[in-house]
Amino acid sequence: MNLALFDLDNTLLTSDSDFQWAQFLIEQQVLDREVYEARNLEFYEQYKAGTLDIYQFLSFQLKPLSRHSRIQLNVWHKEFMAKKILPQIAPGAHELINKHMLGGDLCVIITATNRFVTAPIAQALGINNLIATEPDQKNGEFTGQVSGIPCFREGKITRLEIWLNERNLTWLSFLESWFYSDSLNDIPLLNKVTHPVAVDPDATLKSYAKKNNWPIISLR
């Protein structure tokens, strides 16, 4: 058995679902544009630069979830999927996923974006296995806090290894492993797999991939 790992934002999607979710809430006037838009852009630029403080960002991103019922959030998310996400699935995403599924590989989306935002996206992409940052919940409602280790940078490796261990698997369970990502933030996990692949990469990852003779592909 082989392992195929997929980053989500700007890899299988042509945009960032975390950023788009905040923008969607601003457009719905759920969040104040003057207060939130500049901060959302600032965090996104920090992410792209590799300087993001994940805990500061999660405090910003998860707090709005705690202010509304799960029922209302689900209504908004359905509209978010239709308007912001489905049109942004990369043209080559399904073909790449299907190639690995037809090969019998264990396919997993692994993303720093929280599970509330990403679980329906993974479902739309046909991937049942999702490792994401977990928003804390109490009695089915969000508290605005993060639960456990954020699935970000080296945290992706930790979360993946915990996930594998829960299924009585390790890295040694797989003859080969792939990880597809666009981001410099994923270099730690890219270095762990037997087949790292840069997908429409940012400038830092593109340079790193070229230096290490990694494949560079586009799904767009």
Residues facing residue 137 across a β-bridge: 142
3-state secondary structure the chain: CCEEEECHHHHHECCCHHHHHHHHHHHCCCCCHHHHHHHHHHHHHHHHHCCCCHHHHHHHHHHHHHCCCHHHHHHHHHHHHHHHHHHHECCCHHHHHHHHHHCCCEEEEEEEEEHHHHHHHHHHCCCCEEEEEEEEEECCEEEEEEECCCCCCHHHHHHHHHHHHHCCCCHHHCCCEEEEECCHHHHHHHCCCCEEEEECCCHHHHHHHHHCCCCEECCC
200 is catalytic: no
Q: Specify whether 182 is catalytic.
A: no
- Phi, psi at 178, each rounded to 5°: -120, 145
Structure tokens at 12: 């299988």
CA distance 219 to 82: 21
Give catalytic residue positions: 7, 9
